[in-house]
Every structure is written in structure tokens, then in C-alpha cells.
Amino acid sequence: MGNTCAWPVLRTTDLAEAWRLAERLLSVASWYRPDGCYLEAWALDDDVLRRLTADLPGATVEMYGQGRATLPATASLGVSAFAQAAEALKAWAEITRCYVLWHDMKWPAVAELGLAEEYKYAELQVACNSHDIHCEEWAAEHTVFIHARPGHEARAAWLAARVGARIVGPSEEGW
């Protein structure tokens, strides 16, 4: 057991730009399942929660307030296709802080860095309206994160370079 480490490789106000970078990074993965993906969004009031679930009726809701019966809440949605994830993320990003995470994938081996193929810690995330992976604080920008094994900043930098990006901030502990 262990946690990933997440490196930000893009911060932008243009969600389409963040999405294009995510698509390019997924193409570098040695393997990924499009249905190994889910979205999560935060609702601090009834209006936001109603809008989240109206936009994507298949979402599940978990309350975190008193006795796990009141707000705040998270809405979660598993998706089965890249296009479905794009549409869902766009809808939710217009409402609140949210993210999409691909978790059923592999980063390729990087022989020149002495790194084997990585499955356990390989993830890719687009955090909307936030600079952190948990979307705890609102930001005007969207952030793309490469998750990898702790200590493998060189892998994250190598992956980013493959698609014309670079690490743009400090890492944070993942999940």
C-alpha cells in the first residue's frame, strides 16, 4: 500500500487546453482503460448539489455533514468513454470544483532513467477550478496532474516532456 505523488504539469483557464493535454498524456501511457475513470465534484449548498445531479443523473451522492446526512456532499460518477468524461467534466466545471481521474493505466518504462513500467501508482488527473488534487480551494485555473510513484519526479518530467509540457509546481501527496 502507498500513496501516489502528483506533479502539476499545466495550469490554465482554458478547460479545452487542459483536456487536450490529458488526451496527449493518455496516448503516452503504455495502456489504459477508458472506463477506468471517474469524476468527483463538491457541493456546499443545495443548489449546487441539485445542479450537479440534474446535469448527470447517474451520479451518486455522499453527504459529509452532521451524521452524514447534511451538506457538504460529493457527487461521483464513473464513466466508460473518453468523450463521456469530457462532457461530464465540462458540465460540472461550470458549476463547482471537480476533477476527473484515470486510474486503470500504466506509465511506460523509461530505460534511460532506469524506471520500469508503472501500474500501481500511474494516474492522470484534471482538477477543475483548483490547484490541488483534492479541489479543496477554488482557483480560476484548471490543473493537470501526473500521478506516479513517490520519488519519481524524473518520470513525471519525462512524461510531460513527451507531450510538450513540463512540471509547473511542487508535488503533493496523492491517494
For residue 162, the model assigns a pLDDT of 98
Query: Residue 35 falls within a domain, yes or no?
Result: yes
Domain that holds residue 131: 5-39+79-87+98-173
The residue among 5, 72, 25 whose CA lies nearest residue 166 is 25
Please state the domain count of the chain.
Answer: 1
Domain membership flag for residue 165: yes
Whether residue 21 lies inside any domain: the answer is yes
Task: State pLDDT tens for residues 95-123.
Answer: 999 999 999 999 999 999 999 999 999 99
- What pTM, to 2 d.p., does this model score? 0.96
Task: Tell me, yes or no, whether 108 lies in a domain.
Answer: yes
For residue 162, give the nearest of 30, 5, 56, 36 by alpha carbon: 30
What's the pLDDT score for residue 1? 60
Q: Quick check: is 168 in a domain?
A: yes
C-alpha cell belonging to residue 138: 477554488
